[in-house]
Structure 1
Amino acid sequence: MSAKSAPPPLAPRLYLATPVIDDPSQVAARLPALLASADVAAVLLRLSPSDPRTLISRVKALAAVIQAASAALLLDGHADLVARSGADGAHLTGIAALQEALPMLKPDRIAGSGGLSTRHESMIAGEAGADYVLFGEPDEAGDRPSTDAIAERLEWWAELFEPPCVGYAASCEEARIFAASGADFILAGEFVWKDPRGAETALAEVAAAIRQGHGLQDGRTTPSPKAEGGAAG
């Protein structure tokens, strides 16, 4: 009897980042239709600076809408507000922020990790207990690795490690490439909200690009050439 082959990998799911929010009412009005336009696993809520009470009020204004769509709500930072606001977890930038937040979030809430500039930092985050690692987001200066370097990092992680990896996509084409590279989730944000055709159309297009990229990973079509070089670290 021949050995049973492993099941094919699941297609990556969408992780939607919001604009930086001051007044949540406009985003709350747009979210139901947007979350219905594609299979969104989680929403990353980005908040403009304010006092804790105001921030909690903003989160609560959006939590019901997001969670009603069966999506997890993660705060960009603010791990100390997760429990009080009803969020499902937080995304932390940098190893120090992750390690500080883990006691507040584990074991019941999600702790995601980004700002990982080297492979070594990525492995530290995974070993510390991060529920996912994010590759490709801009740094404080707005710079980010090349598409090829991000794809290489995703492929490396997906082949070797258990925690999910997330690819930060700045376009539909990047979403397709990162899905083909083995990402478990694709984070899409600014370009979706700014699309002149409407965010629903843009997000549905991203979802289609992810499906196409997943088809490349499965070998159902001819993949694009892999990057020759890799990310630093």
Structure 2
Amino acid sequence: MSDPHTRLALLSPHRVEAAQADALADALTAACAAGDVAAVILRLASADERSLVNLVKRLAPAAQSTGAALVISVSDFAGDVVSVAARGGADGVHIDKARDGVLRELRSRLSEGRILGAGGHEQKHAAMEAGEAGVDYVMFGGLYADGFAPDAETVQERAEWWVEIFETPCIAVAHDRAQVDGLVATGAEFLGLESALWMGEGADVAAIQATVTAAEA
């Protein structure tokens, strides 16, 4: 990849509900103003489809008004996430640890220009299968809904491996400020930030952006 440039991707807390929408929208607006944010991965709590659509509609403008894409993920959702994304005005969907065939099925249903992302790839084989299914990005690292996070060294190694070999972009996710320098050094197209790094007490997107910019100078 010539002239590499790492942009930010913001990951919301897990299981976002309607009661959190206003505070989350404010945090998104501030974070997108402080850094070069390319995408927001909105991780919603499972609910009925109508409620999810309304929640996406409430939150989408905070990201999209700055030019960032909004990608939704709904854990333990038995409904149609593609329909939720389309009706809510999201730019795509994200799936963690997809079952066999799910990514190809979603790829076939998402209209042209809609984003399909996949995460949960501790194993290289799973990441390669996601790439072969036609995802727009693979994601390494990040907190799962149960609070578990893959080993930081493994996340960095996976990102380095992927960037060197594959053309499909990747998001390398930091859940701790100490991970940022190493992940930026991988050359990943996107530096993912868990919610503690961009919202709430101690969050400093501007400082993280400065680190990214300095590394590319």
Which position in structure 1 is the counterpart of 2:158?
Answer: 153
- Normalised by the length of structure 1, the TM-score is 0.80
Match of 2:8 among 14, 38, 41: 14
Which position in structure 2 is the counterpart of 1:210?
Answer: 212
Instruction: State whether structure 2 residue 45 is matched by structure 1 residue 38.
Output: no
CA contact 1:172–1:209 (8 Å) conserved in 2? no
- Greater CA radius of gyration, 1 or 2? 1
Which stretch shows the higher mean deviation, 122-131 or 102-111? 102-111
Instruction: Give 1:106 shift.
Output: 4.4
Which stretch shows the higher mean deviation, 106-115 or 136-145? 136-145
CA contact 1:166–1:185 (8 Å) conserved in 2? yes
- Normalised by the length of structure 2, the TM-score is 0.86
- Residue correspondences, number: 206
Which stretch shows the higher mean deviation, 17-26 or 147-156? 17-26
C-alpha distance in structure 2 between counterparts of 1:141 and 1:129, whole Å: 28
Q: How does 1:76-115 map to 2 (within 5 A)?
A: 76-77=73-74, 78-96=81-99, 97-115=102-120
Helix, strand or coil for the counterpart of 1:95? coil
Structure 2 unaligned regions, length at least 5:
75-80
CA contact 1:176–1:212 (8 Å) conserved in 2? no
Helix, strand or coil for the counterpart of 1:59? helix
Helix, strand or coil for the counterpart of 1:21? coil
Structure 1 unaligned regions, length at least 5:
1-5, 216-233
CA contact 1:175–1:213 (8 Å) conserved in 2? no
C-alpha distance in structure 1 between counterparts of 2:198 and 2:215, whole Å: 22
CA contact 1:113–1:133 (8 Å) conserved in 2? yes
C-alpha distance in structure 2 between counterparts of 1:214 and 1:31, whole Å: 25
Q: Percent identity?
A: 37
Deviations 1:144-171 (A, max 9, x none): 3322211111111101100001111012
Deviations 1:175-214 (A, max 9, x none): 22111012110111222255424x4xx1112212323444
- Structure-2 change in CA distance of 1:14 and 1:139 (3 Å): same
Query: Partner amino acid for 1:157?
Result: W
Deviations 1:23-49 (A, max 9, x none): 212222333222111111011112122
CA contact 1:169–1:186 (8 Å) conserved in 2? yes
Query: Partner amino acid for 1:142?
Result: G
Q: How does 1:63-78 map to 2 (within 5 A)?
A: 63-77=60-74, 78=81
CA contact 2:31–2:199 (8 Å) conserved in 1? no
Instruction: State whether structure 2 residue 60 is matched by structure 1 residue 60.
Output: no
Which position in structure 2 is the counterpart of 1:221?
Answer: none
Which position in structure 1 is the counterpart of 2:22?
Answer: 25
RMSD: 2.0
Helix, strand or coil for the counterpart of 2:196? helix
Helix, strand or coil for the counterpart of 2:135? coil
